[in-house]
Each structure stands twice: as structure tokens, then as C-alpha cells.
Structure 1
Amino acid sequence: MSKLSPGEVERLKNSLKEKGYKLTPQRRAIVDIIIRNEGSHLTTEELYDLVKKDCPEIGLATVYRTIQLLEDLGVICKLDLDDGCGRYELVHQEENHQHHHLICKNCGKVLEVQADLLEGLENEIESKYDFKITNHSLKFYGICSECKNIKNK
């Protein structure tokens, strides 16, 4: 399980404070659920169902508002995995760009590609088009190893 380092928690508190907000127990519970489920690409409703177990008094509207706030602060980012749902994942300070995703067309599993393999392409695009790239998102669609193995049996 990935945890926010004390420095990242402090950064989150400061970011909230600068915008006039506090790291309330409900907001902290939502961040904790996102951290505990890192790599799961949860929807707001899935986050709500998980947070409600630890924080039964929390409302869905609070989760929606907190998700929007965390996205505005750059703590999480919204993913569009072409399934009609907004999904969220943590943004790590050391990442220059969003990481890439492999999406199985059979079972819907989403795998993360940790390496950013596009630096050379980005440099070429920036040079050729005089365009400063600040982020990119890349999705590969195919069949995961588990589904391939089932088909081959």
C-alpha cells in the first residue's frame, strides 16, 4: 500500500489552506481510500461506497466535492478509460506526465505502464511544431494475458 509521505500530507494541507479549505476527517478518509486502492482507478461512486464503511455519516455530495477539490489541487487526476465513467488516481510529485494504461477489451482490466516511453517523441513534436507539451495520456487496447490464456485453452 502506498502512503502519502509526511511531506506530501503537509503539501496537501498547505494546498487546501491556500484555497481556504482544511483537511477535514472526511477529506482525509477519501484520500486514504484513494491511497489504499491505488491502481484500482475507482469511480466517485466506488470511492463513496468504500469511504462510507469508515465514515458512515459521509454523503455522496461531499465525496463529489472533495474529488473535484483534490483534482483542482493536482492531488488526483481524472482518467477517461472509454467506459463512460470518470475514474481517479493519485498524482505523484515525481511523475512528469500521467502514466500509460493497457485496457483489456475482453475483461476490462486496466494495467498501468510505469515507464514513460515517449520522451523522444515529445521532444520531436515540441521541436517540429514549436509546442510545449505539459502532459499526455496514452491508452493501449488489447487482450490481457489472462484472457489470452483462456482463449488459447
Structure 2
Amino acid sequence: MDIKTLEKKIKNNGYKLTNQRKGIIKTLFEHKNHFLSAEEIFSKLKEKNIKTNLSTVYRNLEILEKIDIIHKINIDGNYFKYELIQNKKQHNHVIICKNCGKTEKINFCPLEKIISNITNNNFVLTDHKFELYGYCNKCKIK
């Protein structure tokens, strides 16, 4: 997806295309395959002289997640990081660096093996995601 398509999706969902939303989308677009925290996004917006505050960034991230432009992950149960959804049809199975947020896609879906080991049939599976956490080669050296 390109930036214009993402901006159109915001408008089609009934939201205004504010400078802050444009800046957040552009920042996430510039950092494809990396998860960024709200604080990192806020810092990058300040570097670009986009006037906003951290609470506005959080509110906009909630909206962008709600309309399926971004997805968020929980790092260590303490805080969230965000990434642009690049292909809605593609499963989001990834390995994520806990330090810098770099991601690598996992090229297979482990669901079949997992389902074959589940003996409880009291659930109907509707969705799933698979995330592994660790440190990329660059961060593990630090």
C-alpha cells in the first residue's frame, strides 16, 4: 500500500486527514518492517516539525488501528509498538526485536501443527497471530 491509499482509507472511514495523521502514516511508511512505539513516533514527528503532543499521537494510533491501517504488539506486557499493515491478506507471523522493533516475517503458518495438538473442541477459531520476540543481530551485540 502507498501513502495515498492509506490517506484515502482514513477519509473513507469518516476521519479528517490532519497533519498529525499524515505525519504518523508517513513515519510508519518510512519505517516499514519496524515496530515503533508512540514515543518514537512522537519524536520523529517533532524532528519533522509537525506540531502535536503525545496524547494526540496515542489517539491517532487508536484510530488507525481501529480502521486496520496499523497493528500493535505488546512488548513484555508493559508497552505497545505499532507497524503499518502492508498486506491485509497476509498472515502477520513475525519475529520482533525487543530493542529496536525490527521485524522479520515468518514464511509459514504454524497453525496446523498447533491445532492438531489442541484437544479442547469448545472453541471455534476465528483469527490468530504468531509473534516471537528476541534481539536482532545488531541489538544483541550492544
Q: TM-score range by the shorter chain?
A: 0.7 to 0.9
- Equivalence map 1:13-52=2 (5 Å): 13-15=11-13, 17=14, 21-52=15-46
Larger radius of gyration: 1
Distance 1:52 1:121 in 2: 46
Deviation of residue 33 (structure 1)? 0.4
Q: Is the 8 A contact 1:29 1:55 kept in 2?
A: no
1:94 and 2:88 aligned:
yes
Segments of 5+ residues of structure 2 without an aligned counterpart are none
Higher helix proportion? 1
Q: Could you say what the CA RMSD is over the residues aligned between the two structures, in angstroms?
A: 3.1
Equivalent position of 1:136 in the other structure:
129
Considering Cα pairs closer than 8 Å and 6+ residues apart, tell me whether 1 or 2 has the greater RCO: 2
Q: TM-score, normalised by structure 1?
A: 0.71
- Equivalence map 1:3-152=2 (5 Å): 4=2, 6-15=4-13, 17=14, 21-82=15-76, 84-103=78-97, 110-121=102-113, 124=116, 129=121, 131-141=124-134, 144-145=136-137
Deviation of residue 24 (structure 1)? 1.2
Distance 1:87 1:117 in 2: 22
Q: In the superposition, relative to structure 1, how do residues 116 and 127 fare at CA in structure 2: closer, same or farther (>3 Å)? A: farther
Segments of 5+ residues of structure 1 without an aligned counterpart are none
Distance 1:65 1:47 in 2: 13
Q: TM-score, normalised by structure 2?
A: 0.75
Provide Cα deviations, 1:25-56, integer angstroms capped at 9, x if missing partner.
21111111011012221110110000112234
Q: In the superposition, relative to structure 1, how do residues 30 and 5 fare at CA in structure 2: closer, same or farther (>3 Å)? A: closer
% identical equivalent positions: 24
Partner amino acid, structure 1, of 2:128: N
Distance 2:96 2:120 in 1: 28
